[in-house]
Amino acid sequence: MENQLYSLTIPKAYVKLKNQNDSNFNLDSNLAKLEDKDFIRLSEFITREFGIEMPDIKKVMLQSRLQKRLKKLNLNSFSDYVNYLFSKQGMEEEMIHFVDVISTNRTEFFRENLHFDFLLNTLLPDLCPPGSKEHLKFWSVGCSSGEEPYTLAIVLSEFQEKHSLADFIIYATDISTRILQKAYQAIYKEEQINNIPQGLKSKYFLRSIDKEERKVQVVPELRDKVIFSRLNLIDDYYSTPFIFDIVFCRNVLIYFDRTVQEKIIFKLCSSIRSGGYLFLGHSESIAGMNLPLRHIQPTVFMKP
């Protein structure tokens, strides 16, 4: 008999939610057009406030993504939208939706699986030798819809069953409130967990009682281990609740220029304990940056 999908409950930890380049779009000729002057205002604001590069080639992408906001607000032109966005009311009410629109969220369970193999087979045994009572703290930076922090929770739970790991907590952040709400709910389509071994699927996911819905939800025992919070990576200071043992910041830096990347990683390092680790995405590099990190293996670094 299949388990019923759990209704959404508040995790025991807590939730703190504060206020790729798309290349092919078929745009309706009757829809509003994003004029150059409005695109410049928006792109300069996006780069200044969020550090995200917005070159001219992304104009069509931005236009396409914002069409739903114009419709929702009953606005007829992008000029009206831009003026509203930068008004006092818009800054208070629309900005959170604007950030959701410009955020790119792509992830999957056990993405770049070599990282999780290295964590499970090398780092965790070293951090938690026999007899230790470690309480490990992880940070998933740019957690998107939650697949990465929940993958970490699965790996840590599997390790905890057989080794000396007393407890763990995972802090997960993203700039998009909308995607954080989705991550918090931890509900996914069945095909999103196809690459997870059957034993882990049965153990850590609940199936919907509605077979036609074909959705699953992460078990509450794992959801209770994840804290979600909104964070803008180009803020001057990161107010995090812990100093972390391991930070995953994978496939996030690619959206920033080299100078901003170095500043972000330097701030991340201030939240990593001495002897802690930073994981980057396999397409990202810190070569030539002046950072307090020692190379361990490709895309894995230790703070001495």
Q: What is the mean pLDDT of residues 57-68?
A: 87
* Confidence at residue 180, expressed as pLDDT on a 0 to 100 scale: 94
Provide the pLDDT for residue 221: 96
Same domain as 292, residue 182? yes
pLDDT classification of 13: cutoffs 50, 70, 90: very low
- Which of 2-16, 48-62, 187-201 is predicted least confidently? 2-16
What is the reported pLDDT for 106? 66
- Judge if 57 and 152 occupy the same domain: no
**pLDDT band at residue 16 under the 50/70/90 scheme:** very low
pLDDT at 287: 87
Per-residue confidence (pLDDT) for residue 182, from 0 to 100: 93
Q: Are residues 92 and 155 in the same domain?
A: no
Residue after which a domain boundary falls, among 50, 75, 102? 102
List C-alpha distances in Å: 152 to 34, 68, 124, 288: 41, 34, 12, 30
Residue 145 to residue 181: CA distance in whole angstroms: 8
The CATH number for 133's domain is: 3.40.50.150
* Domain end (from 102, 124, 153): 102
Q: Extract the tokens encoding 185.
A: 């709910």
First to last CA, the chain: 51
Residues 169 and 127 in one domain: yes
Tokens of 260: 């901003």
- The verdict on residue 278 lying in a domain is yes
The answer on 195 and 76 residing in a single domain is no
Whether 111 is in a domain gets the answer: yes
Do 76 and 134 sit in the same domain of this protein? no
Per residue in 157-211, pLDDT (tens digit) is: 999 998 878 899 999 999 888 899 999 999 999 999 998 999 999 999 999 887 7
177 plus 142 within the same structural domain = yes
CA dihedral 117, 200, 224, 206 (to 10 degrees): 150
Q: Which of 38, 174, 207, 223 is catalytic?
A: 174
53 has a pLDDT exceeding 90:
no
Q: What is the extent of the structural domain holding 245?
A: 106-302
pLDDT at position 105 is: 62
Q: Mean pLDDT, the chain, as a whole number?
A: 85
In a domain, 16, yes or no: no
Same domain, 153 and 263: yes
**55 φψ region: left (φ > 0), alpha (ψ -120 to 50), beta (else):** beta
Band of pLDDT at residue 54, cut at 50, 70 and 90: confident
Instruction: Give the pLDDT confidence of 284-301 residue by residue, as tens digits.
Output: 888 889 999 999 998 999
Q: How far is CA 62 from CA 68, 101, 254, in A?
A: 11, 8, 18
User: DSSP string covering the chain, please?
Assistant: -PPPPPPP---SS-EE------------TTS----HHHHHHHHHHHHHHH-----GGGHHHHHHHHHHHHHHTT-S-HHHHHHHHTSHHHHHHTHHHHHHHH------TTTTHHHHHHIIIIIHHHHS-TT--EEEEEEEET-TTTHHHHHHHHHHHHHHTTSSEEEEEEEEEES-HHHHHHHHHTEEEGGGGTTS-HHHHHHHEEEPS-TTT-EEEE-HHHHTTEEEEE--TTSSS---SS-EEEEEE-S-GGGS-HHHHHHHHHHHHTTEEEEEEEEE-TT---TT---S-EEEETTEEE--
- Edge-to-edge, what's the strand order for the sheet holding 187-189? 187-189, 215-218, 205-207
Mean pLDDT within 38-66: 85
User: Which listed residue (38, 65, 69, 223) is catalytic?
Assistant: 65
Decide if 36 is catalytic.
Answer: no
Is the pLDDT at 4 greater than 80? The verdict is: no
What is the number of structural domains in the chain? 2
Residue 268 — pLDDT band, cuts 50, 70, 90? very high
In this predicted structure, the answer to whether residue 93 has a pLDDT above a threshold of 50 is yes
User: Are both 48 and 146 inside the same structural domain?
Assistant: no
Active site residue 174: yes
CATH code at position 40:
1.10.155.10
Residue 25 pLDDT level (bands cut at 50, 70, 90): very low
Whether the pLDDT of residue 30 is over 60: the answer is no
